[in-house]
Amino acid sequence: MAAGFNGATSMASGPTPSFLAVDWGTTRLRASLVEAGGAVIDRTQSDHGVQSVPAGGFPVAFAEACGPWLRDKPGLPVLMAGMVGSRNGWIEAPYASCPSGPADLATRLLPVPDMSNVSIVPGVDCRAPDGAYDVMRGEETQVIGTGVVDGLVCLPGTHSKWVLVQGGRIIRFVTFITGELYAAMTASFVGRLAAEPADMESGHAAGEKIATLGGGLGRLLFQARTQVLGNNMPGAAVKPFLSSLLVGQEIAGAIDLFGKPSSVHLVAAMPQREVYEAALKARGFSVTTTDPADAVLAGLVQLFNAPRG
């Protein structure tokens, strides 16, 4: 049964749903009606992401998206992940600390007041031995959904995460603000010489090369301007140059913190997947990929079925 863009459709008959899986992020709400074994019966999505919901408006936004399902199946369990559990969300779900796996997170699911069938997945925080502190909210569900038992998981984004998984549990992770830096730099004086259409090939090649130089990121970012002034690359290469430079520096930072395993599991959609895959393979990594939407749904299924302490 197809679902409308702005809300679920009524389901008078058909497969029996086990729960409603909701991925409620900053810009979008995605929901899936799921059978016990994890098969999706129906889907819907809405542009009412957390940042666009007014104070006190979460019950209304949720009802607009998923109300028909819940009218058909009153009391159906609902499991939500993402920024809906942040300080700016419906209700703040306290972080679970590393190490955390499916059973740890399932034990700490936070019920929404006055909606006993609705629970929110907690985020995860990490206190590193060197004093750094990191948080994630939503990515923990994606990591679980990858099925990685032992390995390193990379989740590119505005705030990219690199996550060390051992025994199926999140042991440690770090955040790189790669996407945010890219947006800031392309809009800054450093990126002012950028021209369109972008010259992807020469830009990525130049960024890969400069990313290997020493002196720190503050030095290398200025090359986005000076490489053009020195006639070493065209203005059309500036944006892909910055992309490859920042991704290269992110990977170098992750290697510095986690060492260099033979493989990385990448949770990314296009175009980020293509950029990260190329950068990782150029550095000798074997890469396995999972689509973020598939990962979060698989993670919510695991969390729903996980034993509660």
Indicate if 276 and 301 belong to the same structural domain. Answer: no
In which domain, by residue range, is 227 found?
A: 178-290
Q: Residue 161's closest CA among 150, 148, 149, 172?
A: 172
* Residue 276 near residue 156 (C-beta atoms within 8 A): yes
In a domain, 59, yes or no: yes
Helix (H) or strand (E) holding 155: strand 151-155
* Residue 52 near residue 83 (C-beta atoms within 8 A): no
Indicate if 45 and 65 belong to the same structural domain. Answer: yes
Q: Residue 157's closest CA among 241, 264, 275?
A: 275
The CA–CA distances, whole Å, from 151 to 4, 22, 98, 126, 200 equal 38, 27, 15, 17, 31
In a domain, 86, yes or no: yes
| pLDDT tens column, 271-308 | 999 999 999 999 999 999 999 999 999 999 999 999 87
What is the distance between the alpha carbons of residues 293 and 309, in angstroms, rounded to a whole number? 28
pLDDT of residue 15: 84
Token pair for residue 138? Answer: 């939503």
Indicate if 182 and 244 belong to the same structural domain. Answer: yes
Indicate if 264 and 184 belong to the same structural domain. Answer: yes
| pLDDT tens column, 199-253 | 999 999 999 999 999 999 999 999 999 999 999 999 999 999 999 999 999 999 9
Indicate if 140 and 211 belong to the same structural domain. Answer: no
Please name the amino acid found at residue 79.
L
What is the distance between the alpha carbons of residues 175 and 287, in angstroms, rounded to a whole number? 20
End-to-end alpha-carbon separation of the chain, Å? 36
Q: How many domains does the chain have?
A: 2
What SS3 class is residue 90? Answer: coil
> The pTM is what?
0.92
What is the distance between the alpha carbons of residues 307 and 245, in angstroms, rounded to a whole number? 43
